[in-house]
Structure 1
């Protein structure tokens, strides 16, 4: 083969290598967005959420995962004060949703900017059929009535104290529970005649408990702020979820469950 042809082939090969090497170096990075690992990996987000969000967030989570097939949501439902303790202890998590603004504000050093995604109101919860014939807050003061409330450090416990004070009603609870679902459970099981819970909790009870409305003038409005956690290993994915909680689809899911607009 002539020398000229050999030289042309060699130069052509070098040019091809020079073009392909940079492309190979760039390849495979486009899909690595906030996965914390290799392309195609699923991102698992841990969301710390108030106990009163248990049912609605299961529905919301399924909807979110359907829209975001690369993300899996793992929820931890507890009283807001218990969630705050987890955050302070450094438990691995990506987002936080509390049942009050105070708890979230107290954690501002650990969170991103919080925004309220929904609101709620309180009701008196009674057993199925309301066997004690409870009609209003003042009925809870009866000495023969077993009333259960959430502990004072729990958001619904603070709200309950506020509404009882507004109505000038003194109640001696038979127990003080760590979250609103524990209050509801005591009523459902007949271990208490009544308790104060969120309206959405009675809705989620599916007929196992009944709710007695509390007049607006005596009631308290609970706000649910959501925020990312600064310790998250998936900050972009966590921010996307928190943003979605304010979307029309998420708002509809919350409203259908009995929550109010933020």
Structure 2
């Protein structure tokens, strides 16, 4: 019996270093494979934020831009006057209406409520529309969403006014914003800030402004809203129409 026990422990003792060696080898191999895997493991790259800008006209005809970033509408910027800084309303998702359209809410200078309705029902993409209200006054034109790459570059539309002097109408982010009249080389130009007014019977957008507080300025977008290089505008000061239409170019 004693002899058998001696042989058993002797056998175990001789095998013990081999077992330890196998265990160490396994640990080393595992560590090595994990190290190599870490080196060659593909690292995900950061994706650029998906964003859209949705431009429309608010309840009084001034431009606004709703921002859509990574699946949510985040803010609305109201450009109410060229002489004042824009008002930015930060938005928070609120609920969904009966039509399944997401509703967002914000504030306007702490004095009025801002509401944005995602007309697409949450499937926002270029061409989608939003409705925006300030203090329950809904927009004159819904905001139409575009990606930054789709936003048209600024255009300048040069023509001759009723007296034969040059003028330049500026088209920025989907709207005509002003007309600059260069009536005399000895005087500074007169700039008329424009506001969208309505659409005529031919479907041509009409913008209005003033001339030194003494006369009305009217601009008609002959393209019918599809402004691009080569499009034309007609401009009048106090109902005296231009000798030459403004032709738009980059």
Q: TM-score, normalised by structure 1?
A: 0.26
The structure in which a higher percent of residues are helix is 1
Q: Which has the larger strand fraction?
A: 2
RCO higher in 1 or 2 (8 Å CA, sep ≥ 6)? 1
TM-score of the superposed pair, with normalisation by structure 2: 0.27
The structure that has the greater radius of gyration is: 2
